[in-house]
Copies of this chain bind each other. A is one copy, B any other.
């Protein structure tokens, strides 16, 4: 077979066990936090009618939607995000859903983007949202959930930057930026987290803002205070468990202001260089725009691939390369039954156990298998031991081996 055909498509990935286990660890952890906060799972199909998705993400994005005609002549498209399908769910099932409705969703999405480092054509989105209330308490709950996620994943040093998009509009209105330049100016201000004031100032001046206005703008951004509503969100999220040292009012935060209506926030992990790992905010009009049902909303999307990368970088994944705790080796064909019974016994005690699945392979090769998989314990059920109702237990990290009664094995291994 042509070797090129053995590659996944560009921008798509195979996850061999080591990586698949990391992803599984992260998802399990994230799901328990969602559930600790009373959020419930939702799953929607990979394929939707093309007309549901087209025109919902802007002209540029439309080009990135995988879409085609199916055998039945329907125009269909692969899920591009989880918000549009959820808007469809809200419009279809509004009557039977509890309101406010707190749902999470973790599924792959597909975007025909130019593949580059950290950008893929298939990737997991991981969203949590509260629908059906405009209360600041809901905003605070979403911030507290975001905080709990990273805390529970084991991150120690991360920060939450929070703003109200209206503050930004107030400031640029106050210094009299012409309306037609407001969005462009905000885009420049948003860069202040990674560019110097001088650089952003030059950019603003190039956009036609005079030097004095730029100076006033920067001064105001430094002295502006949270609105009463934002202060309430800050206070409530602290009462909900967010450490005060983590929470930063950041009036320069913009987060692509197209659909957010007030609270916006981002999580950044200290010393993780690839940018924010979570972003969200309040978007009270979007669901109506998408599916003609007037439901206010606040929520976030967690960057799953970045989170995996950061977990790796800070050594937060479990050390074990394999789930397996012990390999029961098979001495020979005559002793396969005994080995099988030992494996069954260990599994019955809840211990992740492999039995080497062949009796025609030399012990030495079985040991190499355990080594390759970094299985910590080996059990040998040899002819002499069987006669004494015992087995040999070997710690593959220390090399130390002892003879054990079968009944003592579970305790020795776990």
Whether A41 is near chain B, meaning CB under 8 Å from some CB there, is yes
Cβ contact within 8 Å between B16 and A93 = yes
Question: Which B residues are in CB contact (< 8 Å) with A312?
Answer: none
Of B100, B291, B372, the contact of A98 (CB 8 Å cutoff): B372
Cβ contact within 8 Å between B42 and A15 = yes
Cβ contact within 8 Å between B337 and A291 = no
**B interface footprint on A39-79 (CB within 8 Å = 1, 0 otherwise):** 01111111111011000000000010010111110101010
Whether A225 is near chain B, meaning CB under 8 Å from some CB there, is no
Complexed CA–CA distance, A140 and B204 (Å)? 71
Cβ contact within 8 Å between A5 and B292 = no
Cβ contact within 8 Å between A344 and B239 = yes
Whether A322 is near chain B, meaning CB under 8 Å from some CB there, is yes
Of B17, B324, B347, the contact of A41 (CB 8 Å cutoff): B17
Q: Label chain A's interface by main secondary structure.
A: mixed
**B interface footprint on A302-344 (CB within 8 Å = 1, 0 otherwise):** 0000000000000000000011100100100000111011011
Whether A212 is near chain B, meaning CB under 8 Å from some CB there, is no
Question: Which B residues are in CB contact (< 8 Å) with A51?
Answer: 5
**B interface footprint on A369-385 (CB within 8 Å = 1, 0 otherwise):** 10011000000000000
A162 to chain B, nearest CB (A): 16
Copies of the chain in the assembly: 2
Whether A268 is near chain B, meaning CB under 8 Å from some CB there, is no
Most buried by B among A46, A69, A343: A46
Tell whether A352 pairs with B93 under 8 Å between CB atoms, given A98-B372, A358-B135. no
Tell whether A23 pairs with B43 under 8 Å between CB atoms, given A36-B350, A140-B340, A353-B36. yes
Complexed CA–CA distance, A46 and B9 (Å)? 10
Cβ contact within 8 Å between B38 and A17 = no
Cβ contact within 8 Å between B241 and A44 = no
Query: Which of A102-110, A386-394, A399-407 sits within the interface?
Result: A102-110
Whether A259 is near chain B, meaning CB under 8 Å from some CB there, is no
**B interface footprint on A118-140 (CB within 8 Å = 1, 0 otherwise):** 00011000000010011101101
Most buried by B among A9, A360, A373: A9
Complexed CA–CA distance, A240 and B135 (Å)? 57
A2 to chain B, nearest CB (A): 8
Whether A37 is near chain B, meaning CB under 8 Å from some CB there, is yes
Question: Which B residues are in CB contact (< 8 Å) with A360?
Answer: 135
Q: Which of A147-185 contact B (CB under 8 A)?
A: 148
Q: Which of A267-298 contact B (CB under 8 A)?
A: 291-292
Question: Which B residues are in CB contact (< 8 Å) with A10?
Answer: 72
Q: Which residue of B lies closest to A42 (CB)?
A: B20
Cβ contact within 8 Å between A6 and B91 = yes
Q: Which residue of B lies closest to A38 (CB)?
A: B354
Cβ contact within 8 Å between A17 and B31 = no
Tell whether A35 pairs with B352 under 8 Å between CB atoms, given A49-B5, A340-B236. yes
Tell whether A240 pairs with B344 under 8 Å between CB atoms, given A47-B110, A353-B38, A357-B133. yes
Cβ contact within 8 Å between A347 and B1 = no
Residues of A within 8 A of B (CB): 1, 5-10, 12-17, 19-21, 23-24, 28, 31, 35-38, 40-49, 51-52, 63, 66, 68-72, 74, 76, 78, 88-89, 91-93, 96-100, 102-103, 108, 110, 112, 121-122, 130, 133-135, 137-138, 140-141, 144, 148, 235-236, 239-241, 291-292, 322-324, 327, 330, 336-338, 340-341, 343-344, 347-348, 350-361, 369, 372-373
Q: What are 18 contact pairs spanning A and B, CB under 8 A? A: A8-B45, A9-B47, A10-B72, A12-B45, A14-B43, A14-B92, A15-B44, A16-B42, A16-B97, A17-B103, A23-B43, A24-B41, A28-B28, A35-B323, A38-B322, A133-B361, A137-B340, A140-B340
Having A16-B93, A36-B351, one finds 14 other A-B pairs with CB under 8 Å, namely: A6-B88, A8-B44, A12-B47, A14-B44, A17-B41, A36-B347, A40-B322, A63-B71, A71-B112, A99-B369, A100-B369, A148-B347, A239-B340, A240-B343
